[in-house]
Structure 1
Amino acid sequence: MVKLTADLIWKSPHFFNAVKERELDLRGNKIPVIENLGATEDQFDTIDLSDNEIVKLENFPYLNRLGTLLINNNRITRINPNLGEFLPKLHSLVLTNNRLVNLVEIDPLASIPKLQYLSLLDNNITKKPNYRLYVIHKLNSLRVLDFIKIKAKERAEAAALFSSKEAEEEAKKVSHEEVKKVPETAENPETPKVVAPTQEQILAIKELGVERGETLETG
Structure 2
Amino acid sequence: MVRLNADLIWKSPHFFNAIKERELDLRGNKIAIIENIGATEDQFDTIDLSDNEIVKLENFPFMNRLGTLLINNNRITRINPNLGEFLPKMHTLVLTNNRLTSLAEIDPLASLPKLQFLSLLDNTVTKQPDYRLYVIHKLKHLRLLDFKKVKQQERADAAQKFHSKEAEEAAKKVAAKAYTPVVMDAQGTTKDQGPKVVAPTPAQITAIKAAIINSQTLDEVTRLEKASEEAEAEKMETDGQDQEEDGADEQKQADESTPIQED
Same fold (TM over 0.5): yes
Q: Do the aligned partners of 1:144 and 1:150 also contact (CA within 8 Å) in 2?
A: yes
What is the CA–CA distance in structure 2 between the aligned matches of 1:158 and 1:129, rounded to whole Å? 13
State the Cα RMSD in Å.
2.1
What is the CA–CA distance in structure 1 between the aligned matches of 2:138 and 2:110, rounded to whole Å? 6
How far off its partner does 1:209 sit? 3.7
Partner of residue 61, structure 1:
61
Q: Do the aligned partners of 1:80 and 1:108 also contact (CA within 8 Å) in 2?
A: yes
| Structure 2 residue 128 is matched with structure 1 residue 128 | yes
Q: String of CA shifts for 1:50-77, please: whole Å, max 9, x gaps.
A: 0000000000011100000000000000
Please point out which of 198, 203, 208 is paired with 2:201: 198
What is the CA–CA distance in structure 1 between the aligned matches of 2:23 and 2:182, rounded to whole Å? 41
How far off its partner does 1:183 sit? 6.6
Unpaired segments ≥5 residues, structure 1? none
What is the CA–CA distance in structure 2 between the aligned matches of 1:194 and 1:161, rounded to whole Å? 27
Q: How does 1:133-152 map to 2 (within 5 A)?
A: 133-152=133-152
Q: Do the aligned partners of 1:73 and 1:194 also contact (CA within 8 Å) in 2?
A: no
Q: Do the aligned partners of 1:69 and 1:94 also contact (CA within 8 Å) in 2?
A: yes
Partner of residue 185, structure 1:
184
What is the CA–CA distance in structure 2 between the aligned matches of 1:78 and 1:183, rounded to whole Å? 17
The SS at the match of 1:118 is strand
The SS at the match of 2:163 is coil
Change beyond 3 A, Cα 1:7–1:183: closer
Higher alpha-carbon deviation: 190-199 or 129-138: 190-199
Partner of residue 32, structure 1:
32
What is the CA–CA distance in structure 1 between the aligned matches of 2:198 and 2:74, rounded to whole Å? 10
Supply the AA of the counterpart residue of 1:10. W
What is the CA–CA distance in structure 2 between the aligned matches of 1:4 and 1:75, rounded to whole Å? 16
Q: Which consecutive segments of 4 or more residues in structure 1 shift more than 6 A?
A: 190-194
How far off its partner does 1:182 sit? 3.3
Equivalent residues, number: 213
Change beyond 3 A, Cα 1:54–1:85: same
Name the structure with the higher helix share. Answer: 2
How far off its partner does 1:210 sit? 2.4
Supply the AA of the counterpart residue of 2:205. I
TM-score (norm 1): 0.91
TM-score (norm 2): 0.76
What is the CA–CA distance in structure 1 between the aligned matches of 2:34 and 2:157, rounded to whole Å? 37
What is the CA–CA distance in structure 1 between the aligned matches of 2:119 and 2:57, rounded to whole Å? 15
Tell me: higher relative CO, structure 1 or 2? Use CA pairs within 8 A at least 6 residues apart: 1
Partner of residue 241, structure 2:
none
Partner of residue 72, structure 1:
72
Q: How does 1:1-219 map to 2 (within 5 A)?
A: 1-179=1-179, 181-182=180-181, 184-186=183-185, 188=188, 196-211=199-214
What is the CA–CA distance in structure 1 between the aligned matches of 2:56 and 2:182, rounded to whole Å? 24
Unpaired segments ≥5 residues, structure 2? 218-263
What is the CA–CA distance in structure 1 between the aligned matches of 2:212 and 2:164, rounded to whole Å? 33
Q: Do the aligned partners of 2:185 and 2:191 also contact (CA within 8 Å) in 1?
A: no
